Structure 1
Amino acid sequence: MGKVRVGVIGCGSISQYRHLPEYAANKEVELVAVCDIVEERVKEVANKYGAKAYTDYKELIQSGEVDAVSVCTPNYLHAPISIEALNNGLHVLCEKPMATSQEEAEAMIEAAKKNDKKLMIAHNQRFVRSHQKARQLIENGEIGKIYSFRTAFGHPGPEGWSIDGKDSWFFEKEKAYIGAMGDLGVHKTDLLRYLLGEEIVEVGAFIETSAKEFADVDDTAVCALKTENGIIGTLAASWSYTAKEDNSTIIYGEKAILRLEDHPEYSLVVQYTNGEVVNYDLGKIQSNDEGGQNTTHVINNFVESVLTNTEPPINGEEGMKSLAVILAAIKSNETKTLAKVFE
């Protein structure tokens, strides 16, 4: 096939920071259509990228002019739009969290299978170089048995970078379904599954709204997680880290401790039990401050899987397993008991 003809549905911040510039930079892509319910916004974006503007996603999907779409809408629309696109024979790259329930996630996976199309979920943490190096060290047995971990993803909140500020859909329960846990926590459950190479099976969580009085979703969550082989650790996700972002992960092993994105200079620090310390300078983790210079690799991987007809690195099943941990955390918080993942 020639170039992949792409449409981007939803022209908010994630689309403008990531999807649009990264598609535009990809030589194998023709960015042909953009869609947003805000007419002024979509016209501006369409002009900038020389694409056709739509305000109705169904029209874009049924236009016959695209091979693939990115779904960059509020969370509650991820599943319906993705399923509609898959059923119309389009490949789909969907933002995270892929859906707001397991049923929705399963329906998306089913639609991809039935129509023999690619479904990829935009979890970008797996493509961070320090994370890939850490996974390699763990797989090679470099740090021995893993005992514990802690991971955090927090920043001052979406109002600072969402196109709509405090009026953003991120803060509305009907549209977002879940707050910091869905926005940031799901990135980290995906990362932990990738790094540890095993599934998380049980969760205990406290989920609160402590910083954003105007929001009707959670903004701070702390979870205890247990994997199938009994590794236990914590995950914190928050929009209440007011001064500086934290995106760090620490893995405690028998032979060494791995510190990922935890040091101001070195993206990976390995502290061995014999006292030796190895610092890796693998470049900064991508963040929105750096603009489009620093690719997240998500878009390029998606395009490649479409062109080469190979399974995307983070398919629907992977997305669903990472979402399931978040759903279990919500259940744990509501029932005040430990919740099993996938139950």
Structure 2
Amino acid sequence: MAKVKVGVIGCGSIAQNRHLPEYKMNENVELVAVCDVNEERVNSVAQQYGVNAYTNYEELLTSGTVDAVSVCTPNYLHALISIAALNAGIHVLCEKPMATSEEEAQAMIEAAKTNGKKLMIGHNQRFVSSHQKARQLIEDGEIGKVYCFRTAFGHGGPEQWSVDGKESWFFKKEEAFIGAMGDLGVHKSDLLRYLLGEEIVEVGAFVETNAKDFAAVDDNAVCILKTESGIIGTLAASWAYKGNEDNSTIIYGEKAILRLEEHPVYSLVVQYATGEVVNYELGKIQSNDEGGQSNSHVIEQFVHSIVTDEEPAVTGEEGLKSLAVILAALKSSQTKQFTCVHEEQPAEGILQHINS
């Protein structure tokens, strides 16, 4: 079977530490090209992987050399480049947040459908072993009715690991659109939807910039979320954690409490109401603190969907629903009111608008 020919658009940290090495070690992939507007950077990465270098994504997409691309650019380019790739008959793995609006996200979904190509969003928290085990326990009724939850994702900020440090696009409003909530919060809105098996319908939030005076986007956010069945909880996203990274989630149920990625050794701790405690050692969650490379399982899932012609593990529709929670949080913070989450928007005319 012919290998999937892949190009990576955007050669920043996420591409260098996740996408490129994971494509390289995938036996079904032939890495053929990289693209970045920074000529020095793209040439260096291209030389490292022995692939072709492009500074213009349109040239790559029209080259006829790739079957699929990863879009690892600043957020404001996600929809533009993804739609262009899909329209060129190329499968797309897009980093999160998938877009800067529901309209953009819907246009991406429509482009994938129209062209019969795969669109997957890089929400890797679904593939963490402890999260998958917790979802299974909840589905099996092991903890009974779920009452509430709390989840947090925080670290010292992108300046610690971004290739451009404090000058990174992550801190520029016009390029990032959203800060810690788009970088970290959207991962947790996706995780909660995955774990609980239901949608978040209402959000109240404080989305602030109070830790980094050089940032034009939010660096601290705390949200209150409510699901369709009435489960309530909190989500915190922060670029202001000076100690170790926090990537933990706790689910409080009728029969037990699930503690995820909170213990230094046990990635899942189940505390039953009977007093029994079960510890699961399922491997550590991915962390920016690692400083190295590891397997996020995102690339292997994306490639698998292409090779088997199956639906991607995280579809555009799923990405949109998780994005909608974050957009509702922004609106809530601005209006100082609880906000309903709307995940569906008409796409009529949007493709033409974005392509223009």
* TM bracket, shorter-chain basis: over 0.9
Distance 2:288 2:157 in 1: 13
Does the Cα contact within 8 Å between 1:91 and 1:117 map onto a contact in 2?
Answer: yes
- Output aligned runs, 1:126-275, within 5 Å: 126-275=126-275
| Counterpart secondary structure, 1:213 | coil
Cα offset, 1:103, TM superposition: 0.2
Distance 1:100 1:290 in 2: 29
Distance 1:113 1:26 in 2: 26
Deviations 1:83-112 (A, max 9, x none): 000000000000000000000000000000
Aligned residue for 2:299? 299
Cα offset, 1:287, TM superposition: 1.8
Deviations 1:107-137 (A, max 9, x none): 0000000000000000000000000000000
Letter in 1 for 2:100: T
Does the Cα contact within 8 Å between 1:130 and 1:282 map onto a contact in 2?
Answer: yes
Deviating above 4 A after TM superposition, structure 1's stretches of 4 or more consecutive aligned residues are: none
Distance 2:80 2:135 in 1: 34
Aligned residue for 2:112? 112
Cα offset, 1:292, TM superposition: 5.5
Aligned residue for 1:36? 36
Aligned residue for 1:290? 290
Distance 1:327 1:221 in 2: 13
Does the Cα contact within 8 Å between 2:245 and 2:287 map onto a contact in 1?
Answer: no
Cα offset, 1:291, TM superposition: 5.4
Does the Cα contact within 8 Å between 1:21 and 1:292 map onto a contact in 2?
Answer: no
| Counterpart secondary structure, 1:296 | coil
Cα offset, 1:35, TM superposition: 0.2
Aligned residue for 1:100? 100
Per the normalisation by structure 1, the TM-score is 0.99
Q: Which runs of 5+ in 1 are unaligned?
A: none
Cα offset, 1:244, TM superposition: 1.3
Aligned residue for 2:27? 27
Q: Which runs of 5+ in 2 are unaligned?
A: 344-356
Aligned residue for 1:10? 10
- Output aligned runs, 1:50-129, within 5 Å: 50-129=50-129
Distance 1:83 1:326 in 2: 22
Does the Cα contact within 8 Å between 1:90 and 1:117 map onto a contact in 2?
Answer: yes
Task: Indicate how the Cα distance of structure 1 residues 293 and 72 shifts in structure 2: closer, same or farther if over 3 A, else same.
Answer: closer
Deviations 1:196-234 (A, max 9, x none): 000000000001111110001000000000000000000
Letter in 2 for 1:155: H
Cα offset, 1:294, TM superposition: 2.5
Does the Cα contact within 8 Å between 2:100 and 2:177 map onto a contact in 1?
Answer: yes
What is the RMSD computed on CA atoms of the aligned residues?
A: 0.8
Q: Percent identical across equivalent pairs? A: 77
| Counterpart secondary structure, 1:65 | coil
Deviations 1:16-72 (A, max 9, x none): 000000000101100000000000000000000011000000000110000000000
Does the Cα contact within 8 Å between 2:76 and 2:100 map onto a contact in 1?
Answer: yes
Cα offset, 1:290, TM superposition: 3.5
